[in-house]
Amino acid sequence: MINPEQFYNLLKENGIDFFTGVPDSQLKNICAYISDNVSKENHIIAANEGGAVALGAGYHLATGKIPLIYMQNSGIGNATNPLLSLVDKNVYSIPMLLMIGWRGEPGIKDEPQHIKQGEVTTTLLEAMDILYKIIPNNIDKAKVIIGESIDYVKKNNCPLAFVIRKNTFEPYKLQNTIKTDYEMTREDAIKIVVDSLNDDDIIISTTGKTSRELYEYREKLNQGHENDFLTVGSMGHASQIALGIALQKPDKQVYCFDGDGAVIMHTGSLGIIGAAAPKNFKHIVFNNGAHDSVGGQPTICFNIDIPVIAKAFGYKSVFNISNRNEIVTTIEKIAQIDGPVLLEIKINKGSRVDLGRPTVSPQKNKQSFIHFLLNQKNAGC
């Protein structure tokens, strides 16, 4: 394995001193090292991977230097537009390094949402004409690749991608972590919200540990999963799935369980919800100020006012709470009033070490959810 400090030092020696991206669990250790050791001005956690590519392009335009953009391979989709229509040789020809966590690498067991993305990761890069290097597990070999890659990027004024396999980096624990003193973790809050909902309310839950904790709580209660659509991939899009359902099923209360990182990834969606204004749309944002599911890197969301943003985007009512005893009364209120409604619950980051993953496949989840929506008999999961 590669020591994150040594890897970072190699980048630094080669003149790389600007970093931006969206965190990934496979890049957790190197991202944590960068977070702890690079100044705020030179390390920006972006809203989404496309934004990170554009931010890196701006850095290059202003300095002539090479930025490094990090992302999970799921983020290639978000990054594709600026990579092809801004950075590409046929447009502005901007040099940059990409560092891409390779979830779902063929032959390595991973979750369903990573399988296709893992299969096509290198093919997508080839299709975009982006040269890629798989970073070897050995610092001396990595050193040669880093040097050659930076020469290539400078000479050709184009991007090059480092593809990072599982367990490439040694562990490094984030030091500069924000400690909060709220009453609940996400799992505590999810449990109380679920207990406060009615049997026929539906939940669209966001990517990462929110969906995993919701799933496990249903298991613990011996309930089925048919009320819940677990958005295991597609980070930032749970609210639009919920909108699509809410508009078609006005008789059902539709709850979107969102994360702050996910909200910030595609915030414009809030305006679309505000404009469509379904009365049955109830948005709950579990704000832990972090990308907790992939390593706890900070988001901007403890420094912005999500309810105020939602209100400005046309939500009818917004709430902000952080205490246990407020959840039940607020959910009761929310159930009675017209949406779109947004409830922000401020929570501490962190989760159980033994948190599992859904054992029901996404397609089974979809089938039982559809049956539930159509008021048909449960498909059995």
Ligand X SMILES: Cc1ncc(C[n+]2csc(CCOP(=O)(O)OP(=O)(O)O)c2C)c(N)n1
- Looking at beta carbons only, is 103 or 282 nearer to ligand X? 103
Are residues 70 and 29 in contact, defined by beta-carbon separation less than 8 angstroms?
no
Task: By CB under 6 A, tell whether 208 contacts ligand X.
Answer: yes
Least distance CB 33 / ligand X (angstroms): 17
Torsion angles phi and psi, residue 125, rounded to 5: -65, -45
Torsion angles phi and psi, residue 27, rounded to 5: -105, 10
Are residues 373 and 313 in contact, defined by beta-carbon separation less than 8 angstroms?
no
Task: By CB under 6 A, tell whether 74 contacts ligand X.
Answer: yes
Task: By CB under 6 A, tell whether 191 contacts ligand X.
Answer: no
- Looking at beta carbons only, is 262 or 343 nearer to ligand X? 262
Stretch that binds ligand X, among 124-132, 149-157, 165-173, 255-263 (CB under 6 A): 255-263
Task: By CB under 6 A, tell whether 288 contacts ligand X.
Answer: yes
Among 50, 67, 75, 95, binds ligand X (CB under 6 A): 75
Task: By CB under 6 A, tell whether 293 contacts ligand X.
Answer: yes
Give CA torsion, residues 242, 248, 249, 250, to 10 deg.
100
Cα dihedral sign, 328-190-73-289: positive
Least distance CB 188 / ligand X (angstroms): 13
Among 28, 60, 186, 283, binds ligand X (CB under 6 A): 186
Question: 19 pairs with which residues across the strands?
Answer: 43, 68
Question: 163 pairs with which residues across the strands?
Answer: 100, 134
Least distance CB 263 / ligand X (angstroms): 7
Task: By CB under 6 A, tell whether 56 contacts ligand X.
Answer: no
Cα dihedral sign, 147-152-157-162: negative
* Residues of this chain that bind ligand X (CB under 6 A): 22-24, 72, 74-75, 78, 186, 206-210, 235, 259-262, 286, 288, 290-294, 299
